[in-house]
Each structure stands twice: as structure tokens, then as C-alpha cells.
Structure 1
Amino acid sequence: MTTTTQPSAKDRALLIAGILMIATTLRVTFTGAAPLLDMIRSDYGLTTAQTGLLTTLPLLAFALISPLAAGTARRIGMERSLFISLILICAGIGIRSLPSAALLFTGTAVIGCGIALGNVLLPGLIKRDFPGHVARLTGAYSLTMGAAAAFGSALVVPLALAGAGWHNALLMLMAFPLLALFLWLPQWRAKQTSPLTGARALHNRGIWRSALAWQVTLFLGINSLVYYVIIGWLPAILISQGYSETQAGSMHGLLQLATAAPGLAVPLLLHRMKDQRGIAGFAALLCAVSAAGFWMIPGQAVLWTLIFGFGSGATMILGLTFIGLRASSAHQAAALSGMAQSVGYLLAACGPPLMGKIHDTAGDWRIPLLVCAFAAVVMAFCGVLAGRDREITPG
């Protein structure tokens, strides 16, 4: 049972502010390191593949920790679990910024654990406390997350080049979770407990035998694979094509801002469609065209950045929507969500180091970008299948 008291307008406003501030920490503290990867690699003498682990470690944490989030929330509450996620993110940023390659990787993994808790629990908190405003808050949540990530990506390189160094530039990203902790502190005393049922649903083995479930999972998983390869290596790709570090960092921020934009447009379009086959295939093909464009016509990098950001943001929203539309029950939706997250993040974790290794072997980014383009075509095929108006049969 959930015991609640009617919150005042001030309490609800403070809760919304806390939610939006937590959202800012779930991407910028992870992706903010990408514009500095060349500096980090040079400073520590890392190979491209080793540097790619800085993108992979959080993804592995997402895959491993996400299934544990519901159980943690049941034991200590969603509010306190989110507080702990912010503590982990702060601790990880501090560890990552110390002058040691080993601590760089350790801190990155800790950040991933904190983000994983927030990724799973924050949308559930919105559904629980604002059931009549899920669409609006989700749009604001997506936009806030993208805007913070864009700001962080554009800021870290000038800070590093201005004399602060990349260690201190990354350390300054702690401002986001520290402010979120301050705004979230009143929620620590919250007496609410959320009856999450995801853990039991995750044991539904029947979902793993469903072709439709695999189509949804692969649509989300390939989107994560392509997105994290591009978000992780875009600055290095652009620098290799003659762009400055500052330009590459700004482009990296623009990509994340473009990724947030579909959060306001796509939900409005979905209500007018009988099924989602057309929009799913189209959004995925935008990712394919832009990935190829980065190599074939690098002078139009701004255009490809905007197209890729919109396409990847739209496919992510569609994939999350498919989880609810294709499931025939709440328990099955939880099982499908767990399947899609675990498989998707594990698939995404393979991308950055694999593409980095291919770059080291081939000497340029042509093959990695063409692989991403081909993967996006496969994603379009999966999206057309997942977008059909049908449900998974109960298992």
C-alpha cells in the first residue's frame, strides 16, 4: 500500500524542480567527458579502444544495475534511492577527476551505477506522483536533460584549454548533482513507498520467446548502440576531419540538444497515427543517412549532427512507447522493459570499444561510421515490425 498526504503547491513545485534537476545529472556527467577524450588519451597514453571503455563502463553499469533498482526502491523508497543515486554520481565525479588512470575508470563506473538508478526510478516517480501530467513532465524532463548535456559539452573544452585542465573541467560537472542534492534533500523524509512490481515481472520467461518482444528490444538496443558510438566518438571524428577541439565540443553539445527536441514533437504525432511503422522506419533512416554523411560530406557536419540528434531522439521515444503499446499487461510491460534495457545496454556497451578498435586498425573513421549507418538500416527494419498495431500474447 502507498500512504500519502496531499502535498501543497509549494511541495509539488519543489518536487518538480528536484525531478528536473536530477534529470540534468543523468547525461551531462557521463557524456560531458566525450569532448575531452583526446586530451585524456594523450595524457595517460591510452589506445583508442581503451579510451572507448570510458563510454562502455557506464553502459555496463546500466545493464547490471537497472534490474536491481526496483528492489532498492521497495526496501528504502524511491526518494531515498534517488538521493543515493546522486551521492554515487558525486562520488564518481570526484574519483574520476583524481590524477590516476585506474581511478579514472573506477570513477566512471561509479557514475554509471548512480545514473542507472536514476534512469530507472525517475520516470516511475513521475508516473506515481503526476499521473495526469506524464506527457508534459516527460517532455520537460527530456528537454532539461538534453539542454544540460549540451551546456556541459560546450563548457568543458574551453575550461580545460583556459588552464583548468581536463581533470578540473570534469570536476566542475559536479555542480549539477550537488544542486540536485540540495533540491532533493526535502524528499529524504518522504514517507511514501512505491509498490513496484517490476522484479516479479522480470522473471516472466515467456517474453524472451516472443518475436515482437525481440523486435522492440532490437529497435531500442540498436538505437543505443548507434547513439553511444556517435556520442562517444563524434568529437574525435570531427577533430580528425579538421575541426578544432572547441568546434567539436560545441557540435557535441548541439547533438545532445537536437536529441531532446523530439520529446516535444513525437508524442503529439503518435496520437494521430493508426500505427507507428512509418515514423519508426523514417526516424531510424535519419540516423543511417547522417552517420554516412559524417564521413562522405564532413563539411556539412552541423547538418548531420542535427539530423542524427533528431533521429536518435525520436527512435528512443518510440522505443519506450512501444514497451507500453505492445505489452498486454502491466507485468508484461515491466518484463519487456527489463528485457529491452538489459539487452539494449549490453549491446550498446560493445559499440564504442569495438569501433575504437576498428579505428585503430583501419586508421580512420570510415568503417565505424558505415557500420553505424548499416546498423541504423537494420533498426529501421525492426522499427517497422515493432510499429505494427498488435500486442505480445501473454506468456
Structure 2
Amino acid sequence: MFSRHSLVFLLLMVAVGLNLRPAMSSVAPLLTRLQETAGLSPAAAGMLTTLPVLFLGLTAPLAPLLAIRLGSERALSTALIILAAGLILRGLPLPGALFIGSALAGSAIGLGGTLLPALVKRELPDSADLVTGLYTMALCLGGALGAGLSVPLTNLLGGWQASLMSWSLLAVTALLLWHFSMPSRPQTAITQPKASGLLKLLGQPLTWYVMLFMGLQSSMAYVVFGWLPSLLVGRGYSEAAAGWTMAISIMFQLVSALTAPWLARLGRDQRPALLLVQCLTASGLWLLLMAPMAWKWPGAMLLGLGQGGSFSLALSLLVLRTANSRLAGQLSGLVQGGGYTLASMGPFLVGLQLQAGATISAITWMLITILALCSGFALFAGRNLRLDNRDGELIVHRY
């Protein structure tokens, strides 16, 4: 049973998690409209979808430094303030505001997404991997809300600028809840590792396997967040129908986000679960982008199940591959920093391919190839190994 303190933390974690995806998923259904009204080329649209992910990756390693200066809880409050500011800025009628605001929002998501796993490991160490499933569910729900409500909000509020800015209200709500109810404990900062400690962590192949798996699976997620509605419009969907198809897919992520950690706990080897979710993702993409349109709902379902499970398992690896919260925070910063920087290349690459006149079929097979490569790294990241810093030395052992 969870204590009252733990239940409050869980509710706050969900409130924060709801804010870590709408900044990206709310743009995708409007991308075709932005290209028409704001004069964005496919390459510029690709840059718009890439910037949040790129800055997410660049900022994630800074989270431990911010945490040791402010404390982990106040560092997360700072991330929410930056997120709200970025969401407001991207809708203002100023030159470059759309791009600068998107970069700020991505930076805030990088900080928040890195701080939360270590806080989970600290607050609920015995249930951290299962709680990660709940956190992932909140991320998926936030992403689905961003995708599904983006076009209706544009119609209701009279323009895409107001629609994009409206998501700042959700961030401000989470900020108020977190600030006034956040858990407080002595010495709550995530310890900032020394340079030599980071080098030791980077010297472990297991770190790289987890990072590359995180990066490649995240690349697929952000391609979907950034381009799936546009690709579906290219197949003949209306703008609203494409947005809702993406939203339904993200809603199915809720199911696998919760069940994947349970599946991972059936054994100490997560490779079967990791390979299963990659196969589901590839099947869903193929059905949505290449099969007859009558298969769109099975495709959306399989894509959602695969991506929700993949991301939930990737976050679970940060917990399962480390022996304590300090290492979890360090690994989280490195893996999310390097992984999301790699992931940012996915949406940009799709934009470049569209600019060059690539067909949807060619783009689909490129994405499936990336999933195959991701499965290769899953075979190494999913083994029952754990990083530990016994007696001041970083070692890898079975558990």
C-alpha cells in the first residue's frame, strides 16, 4: 500500500507528466496549415518538429546541475516555468517566436523528463519500474490531448496561435500544484557527478546500448508526433481526421505504458518484451502508411501499443539497469541527453525527404529500417545487467 506522501507524489507526477508531450503533439495536426499560412517549407517544418527534441536532448544533461543548485523539487518547478513561457512565446506574432518558443519548450521537457525518473527512484524505490508505467501513461495522455484537441482549439479560439498558446494553462496548473504540494526532504538534490564519474559511466557499453535504444525508439515517437498527421493528409485524410487518428494511436499507448513494466517484471531479461513492442510499432506504421485505408484503426492501435510499450520500457531500463537513485539520475541525464539528441534527427530527416519529393512508401521503409536497428540494440540493453558503484568503483553485474 502507498502512504499518503507517496500518493501525493504520484498525483503530482501525473500532473507534471501530462505537460511533457502536448508541446510537440499539438503542432503536428496543424503542420499542413502552418505550411500554408506561415509559409513554411517542408524542410522548415521539419526543423520546427526537430527543435523541441534537439533542445530536449541538449538540456537533459544539465538537469543534475540545476538540481544540485536548487534542489530537485525546485528544479522541476523551474522547468515548468520555462515550459509555460515557451508555450506562450511560440504563439506570439513576433519574428522567430514559433521556433524560439518551441526550443524553450523542448528545453523544459528535457529538464523535467530527466528529473522525474530520479525522483521516482528516490520516492518509491521498490515500485519504481511500475510507477514509471503510470508516468508514461500520463505522458501518453498528454500527447493524445495535444493531438486530438489541437484542431478543435484552433477552430474554437480563432487561430493556430491561440491554440498553441492555450497549452500554457496546463503547464501553469501543474506548476501551482507542484509548488504548493511538492514533496520536501533533506538533501533532495540529484548529486551532480564528477567528470571522472561521467567518463566511467560512458565507458560502460551498457550505457551506450540503453542510450542508443532510447534514441532510436524516441526518434520514431517524434516522427509520429511531428509528421504522422501530415503523412496521413498526404494519403487523403482530412486535417481533423488525421489528428484524431494520431490521438487514438496515442490513447492506445496508455494500455501498453501500464502493462509493459509488468511484462518486463516477469523475468530479469527484458529482451522479449523490447522486441515485441518494436514489432508492434513496425506493423502499425505499415498498416497506417501503406495498407488500404480501411486498416487505419488496427494500424493506429498497433502503433500505439508498440510505441507506448517501447517508451515505458526505455524509461524502465533507467531504473532496472541501475542500483540506486544517484546512478539512476546520472544515467537518466546521459541517456536522455544523448538519446534525444539522436532522436531529433528523425523528424528533420523526414522533412528533408519530403522536400526532396520522397514517397510515403519510401519514408515508411526508412522508418521500419530504423526500428530494425533499434531492435538490435534492444538485444544488448535488455539483458539482466545492472550498473553499481560499490566501494567507489563503477561495475556491471547480474542481479
Q: TM-score, normalised by structure 2?
A: 0.88
Q: Which piece of structure 1 moves more, 245-254 or 283-292?
A: 283-292
Report the Cα offset of residue 353 of structure 1: 1.3
Which one-letter code corresponds to 2:373 in the other structure?
V
| Separation (CA, whole Å) in 2 of partners of 1:138 and 1:328 | 16
One-letter code aligned to 2:78? I
- Code of the aligned partner of 2:66: T
In structure 2, give the amino acid aligned to 1:126. V
Could you tell me which residue of structure 2 aligns to residue 161 of structure 1?
155
Q: What is residue 84 of structure 2 aligned with on the other side?
A: 90
Q: Relative to structure 1, is the Cα distance of residues 272 and 202 closer, same or farther in structure 2, using a 3 angstrom cutoff? A: farther
Q: Which amino acid aligns with 2:98?
A: L
Contact 1:151 1:253 in 2 (8 A): yes
2:270 touches 2:382 (CA, 8 Å); kept in 1? Answer: yes
Give the Cα–Cα distance (whole angstroms) in 1 for the partners of residues 196 and 33 of structure 2. 41
CA 1:195–1:320 in 2, change beyond 3 Å: closer, same or farther?
A: same
Mapped pair 1:19 → 2:13: yes
Q: Distance in 2 between matches of 1:208 and 1:12?
A: 33
For the residues of structure 2 that align with 1:74 and 1:387, how far apart are their CA atoms?
31
Tell me how far apart the structure 1 counterparts of residues 183 and 319 of structure 2 sit (CA, whole Å).
Answer: 32
- Deviation of 1:24 after TM superposition, in Å, equals 1.0
Distance 1:16 1:330 in 2: 17
Task: Say whether 1:383 aligns with 2:378.
Answer: yes
Equivalent in the alignment of 1:5? none
CA displacement at 1:192 relative to structure 2? 4.0
Deviates more, 1:289-298 or 1:36-45: 289-298
- Structure 1 counterpart of 2:255, which letter? A
**Paired residues of 1:85 and 1:118 also in contact (CA < 8 A):** yes
Q: Which moved more, 1:46-55 or 1:193-202?
A: 193-202
Letter in 2 for 1:151: L
2:368 aligns with one of 370, 373, 376 = 373
Asked if 1:148 is matched to 2:142, the reply is yes
Report the Cα offset of residue 304 of structure 1: 1.7
One-letter code of the match for 1:35? P
Query: What is the distance in 2 between the residues matched to 1:122 and 1:105?
Result: 26
Distance (Å, rounded) in 2 between the aligned partners of 1:167 and 1:48: 20
Q: Report what 1:304 is aligned to.
A: 299
Taking only aligned residues, the RMSD between alpha carbons, in angstroms, comes to: 2.6
Gaps of 5+ in 2: 388-393
Q: Say whether residues 1:33 and 2:27 are aligned partners.
A: yes
User: What is aligned with 1:285?
Assistant: 279
Distance in 2, Cα, partners of 1:323 & 1:159: 36
Letter matched to residue 121 of structure 1: L
Q: Which residue of 1 aligns with 2:108?
A: 114
1:131-188 C-alpha deviation (Å, 9 max, x unpaired): 4553554333222222232123211102223461111111221221121122123147
CA contact (8 A) 2:147 2:247 kept: yes
Given that 2:57 and 2:337 are in contact with CA atoms closer than 8 Å, whether structure 1 keeps it comes out as yes
Q: Is residue 117–residue 332 contact of structure 2 (8 Å, CA) maintained in 1?
A: no
Runs of 5+ consecutive residues of structure 1 not aligned to the other structure:
1-7
In structure 2, the partner of 1:176 is 170
Inter-partner Cα distance in structure 2 for 1:175 and 1:166: 16
Q: Distance in 2 between matches of 1:365 and 1:105?
A: 26
**Contact between 1:203 and 1:335, CA under 8 Å: does it hold in 2?**
no
Change (3 A) 1:360 1:26: same
Q: Report the 3-state secondary structure (helix = DSSP H, G, I; strand = E; otherwise coil) of the residue aligned with 2:359.
A: coil
8 Å CA contact 1:52–1:352 kept in 2: the answer is: yes
For 1:248, the aligned partner's letter is: A
What CA deviation, in whole Å up to 9, does each residue of 1:179-216 have, x standing for no partner? 11221231479564414235337843244344433322
| Alignment correspondent of 1:103 | 97
1:347 Cα deviation after fit: 1.0
Name the CA shift for 1:156/1:239 in 2 (closer, same or farther; >3 Å). same
- Measured against aligned partners, the alpha-carbon deviations of 1:54-109 in whole angstroms (never above 9, x if no partner) come to 22111121122111111211111222212111111111111101123500101111
| CA distance in 1 between partners of 2:64 and 2:230 (Å) | 37
* CA deviation after TM superposition for structure 1 residue 323, in Å: 3.5
The answer (yes or no) to whether the contact 1:282–1:380 under 8 Å persists in 2 is no
Matching of residues 1-395 of structure 1 within 5 Å: 9=4, 14-135=8-129, 137-162=131-156, 164-187=158-181, 190=184, 192-200=186-194, 203-299=197-293, 300-327=295-322, 333-391=328-386, 394=395
Identity of aligned residues (%): 31
2:21–2:139 contact (8 Å) kept in structure 1: yes
1:342 is displaced (CA, Å) by 2.2
Q: 1:85 to 1:141 in 2, by over 3 A?
A: same
Task: Specify the SS of the correspondent of 2:158.
Answer: helix
The residue aligned with 1:4 is: none
Give the whole-Å Cα distance in 2 for the aligned partners of 1:107 and 1:203: 34
Cα distance in 2 for partners of 1:276, 1:51 equals 36
Q: Distance in 2 between matches of 1:394 and 1:189?
A: 32
Superposed CA offset, 1:206-232 (max 9, x none): 443444333222211110111111221
Deviations 1:304-346 (A, max 9, x none): 2221221122222222333344457766555543332222111
Distance 2:44 2:92 in 1: 18
TM-score scaled to structure 1, two decimals? 0.89
Name the aligned partner's letter for residue 199 of structure 1.
Answer: P
Cα distance change on mapping 1:53 and 1:303 into 2, 3 Å = same
CA contact (8 A) 1:201 1:334 kept: no
How big is the shift at 1:235? 0.4
CA distance in 1: counterparts of 2:73 and 2:196, whole angstroms: 22
State the number of aligned residues: 387
Counterpart Cα distance in 2 of 1:326 and 1:140:
19
Measured in 2, the distance between the counterparts of 1:63 and 1:333 equals 17
**Matches of 2:317 and 2:196 in 1, distance apart?**
17
Residue 18 of structure 1 deviates from its aligned partner by 2.8
